[in-house]
Amino acid sequence: MRHARNNELTDRRSAAAEAKASLLTAYRAAKTADEPSQAARQAERVSLVEAREARRAERERVKHEERTRLETLAAQEQAAIEAVAAAEIAARQSAENARISRVVQDEAARKAERDRRYAARKARQA
């Protein structure tokens, strides 16, 4: 025989129940002994979470301000580009109008000179 004592089923079951009960009482005793330090750790965790959330909110605020600043800067640059383009278009238009006016004036001057020569030739012939 390997074991000197007789391990019947009821003996094994009672030993297992006693072991479970002793583990449960040890767990409860450790839990009550850890309660003050556990509360301190929980408070520390809460403060860490709050600090993390505050840092995240600050990062979001900074990102939002930077995005707003960049959008404003881009809008100003776009407005400046549009103003330059409008000024360039206006300059081209005024140059075109001046050129057309000069062409019309030159044409009128040529016609006037031609008419003067024609009148002079008619005057000489008469």
Give 54-99 as a 3 state SS string: HHHHHHHHHHHHHHHHHHHHHHHHHHHHHHHHHHHHHHHHHHHHHH
Residue-level pLDDT, tens digit, the chain, 126 residues: 455 566 688 888 888 999 999 999 999 888 877 777 777 888 999 999 999 999 999 999 999 999 999 999 999 999 999 999 999 999 999 999 999 999 999 999 999 999 999 999 999 987
- Decide: pTM greater than 0.85: no
